[in-house]
Amino acid sequence: MSVTLNVNGTEQSVEVSPDTPLLWAIRDHVRLTGTKFGCGLAQCGACTLHVDGQPTRACVTPVSAVEGKTITTIEGIESSTAKAVQQAWTELEVAQCGYCQSGQIMSAVALLEQNRNPSDADIDAAMNGNICRCATYVRIRKAIKLAAEQLS
């Protein structure tokens, strides 16, 4: 069946079954591959994107649940918060393999949109669902703080 998705400000019609996870609709049909597949169980956070501004695990969100909602992927983030986060990530050279970093950045942006001055505990709480097997966590923490500084 045809499902209409609003992705990064554009309405897109995709031919998928309604139970298809948003992740695969976006990757295979909308053909935006920045949102990653890691686990399929909302355990790793690699597929994190924003639905109406809220960080959401696309791998367990069926397309039927997000019709009419605003979906933003790593390719579509443009806010000053997002730019500050990406800039901090680059400045501190956070990424190693980079595969999880789209999800990390989407979680970090959502955190800073809601909390301009997160503590270590706030960062841990917001980011604990995002696994990084390269264990770039030390730099993720620093980058979130750097971005917060830039935004203040």
Partner 1 sequence: MLRRKQRIDSATVRTSRRGFLKFAGGVGAGLTLMMNLPQAAAETAAAAASKEGDFMPNAFVRIGTDNRVTVFIKHLEMGQGTFTGLATLVAEELDAAWEQIDSEHAAADAGKYANLFWGTVQGTGSSTAIANAFMQMRLAGATARAMLVAAAASEWRVPVAEISVSQGVVSHAASGRQAPFGDLAEPATRQPVPPEDSLRLKTPQEFIYIGKQQQPRKDRGKTDGSAIFTQDIQLPDMLIAVVAHPPLFGARASGVDAAQARQVPGVVDVVQIESGVAVLANDTWSAKKGRDALKIHWDESSAFKGSSPEIMARYRELTQAPGLPARSDGDAASALAAGANVIEADFEFPYLAHATMEPMNCVVRVGDGECEIWNGDQIQTLDQGAAAQVLGIKPEQVRIHTLFAGGSFGRRANPHSDYVLEAVRIAKSRPGTAVKLVWLREDDTRAGYYRPAYAHKIRATLDENGMPEAWEHRIAGQSILKGTAFEGGMVKDGVDSTSVEGAVNLPYRIPNLRVELHTVEEGPPVQWWRSVGSTHTAFSTEVFIDRLARAAGQDPVAYRMQLLEGHPRHQGVLKLAAEKAGWGSELPAGRSLGVAVHESFNTYVAQVAEVSLQDDGGFRVERVVCAVDCGIAVNPDVIRAQMEGGIGYGLSPAMMSEISLDQGRVAQSNFHDYQVLRISQMPEIEVHIVPSAEAPTGVGEPGTPVIAPAVANALESATGQTLSRLPLKLA
State the residues that interact with partner 1 by CB under 8 A.
Answer: 16-17, 20-21, 24-25, 27-29, 31-41, 43-44, 46, 73-75, 86, 89-90, 93-102, 105, 123-125, 127-141
Report the residue number, 67 or 124, with the smaller CB distance to partner 1.
Answer: 124
Phi/psi class of residue 9: alpha, beta or left (left: φ > 0; alpha: ψ in -120 to 50)? Answer: left
Closest distance of CB 95 from partner 1, Å: 4
Helix intervals (H) in 20-79? 22-24
What are the C-alpha distances in Å from 14 to residues 5, 84, 136?
8, 32, 35
Closest distance of CB 70 from partner 1, Å: 18
Closest distance of CB 33 from partner 1, Å: 4
Report the residue number, 53 or 129, with the smaller CB distance to partner 1.
Answer: 129
Closest distance of CB 138 from partner 1, Å: 5
Helix, strand, or coil (residue 62)? strand
Task: Answer for the pair 144, 85: CB distance below 8 angstroms, yes or no.
Answer: yes
